[in-house]
């Protein structure tokens, strides 16, 4: 009997922890526990030009003149996971914020910075999940979305920036595939 109870207790604990309590991933947002509150109410100015660019490109790609990031502050801070350079946190009250690891930010160039911020805004603002699919062209393997969980290399991002950004807003990979030389069956 005690073995059965122990097994049931073990299964219950495993079931709870597999959900990631207290920080489960939901739509690739890190959902905070019930007592958490957003850390920041405004964004660090270091991110202002990236947000303006994200909004402008979103207005064009989605043909929506009122598209904006809204109330999603972006700041430097602790991403709470050493493998995350940026993270979109969602709080129980529905508010969101993006936190970026400053040490990483200071060590990388513009292409990585923009790609990371557009990726995190893809989670927080566009509700996008990770899309880790890759496709083969005649000479290389390519990530098919900016929403890949591994940020696109600066070389690829700079070479196919417009196509990657268009896919981010529209979910349409046609132009990206054509530019990358990927044959769609």
Segment 104-116, tens digit of pLDDT? 999 999 999 999 9
The H or E element containing residue 25 is strand 25-26
Q: What is the model's pLDDT at position 28?
A: 57
Alpha carbon dihedral 77, 78, 83, 89, in 10-degree steps, equals: -90
Q: For the domain with range 21-180, which CATH number is right: 3.10.450, 3.40.50, 3.40.390, 2.60.40?
A: 3.40.390
The predicted-structure confidence for 10-61, as pLDDT tens digits, reads as follows 333 333 322 222 333 344 567 777 788 899 999 999 999 999 999 999 999 9
User: What are the extents of the domains in the chain?
Assistant: 21-180
d(CA 34, CA 4) in angstroms, rounded, equals 32
């Amino acid at each position: 009997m005690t073995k059965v109870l122990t097994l049931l207790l073990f299964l219950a604990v495993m079931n709870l922890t597999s959900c990631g309590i207290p920080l489960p991933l939901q739509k690739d947002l890190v959902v905070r526990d019930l007592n958490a509150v957003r850390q920041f109410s405004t964004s660090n100015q270091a991110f202002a030009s990236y947000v303006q660019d994200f909004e402008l490109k979103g207005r064009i790609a989605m043909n929506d003149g009122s598209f904006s990031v809204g109330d999603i502050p972006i700041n430097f801070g602790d991403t709470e996971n050493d493998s995350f350079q940026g993270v979109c946190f969602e709080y129980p009250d529905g508010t969101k914020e993006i936190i970026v690891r400053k040490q990483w930010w200071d060590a990388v160039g513009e292409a990585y910075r923009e790609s990371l911020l557009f990726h995190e805004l893809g989670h927080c603002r566009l509700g996008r999940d990770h899309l880790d699919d890759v496709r083969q062209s005649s000479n290389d393997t390519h990530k098919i979305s900016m929403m890949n969980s591994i940020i696109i290399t600066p070389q690829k991002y700079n070479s196919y920036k417009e196509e990657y950004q268009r896919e981010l807003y529209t979910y349409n990979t046609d132009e990206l595939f054509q530019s990358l030389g990927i044959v769609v069956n």
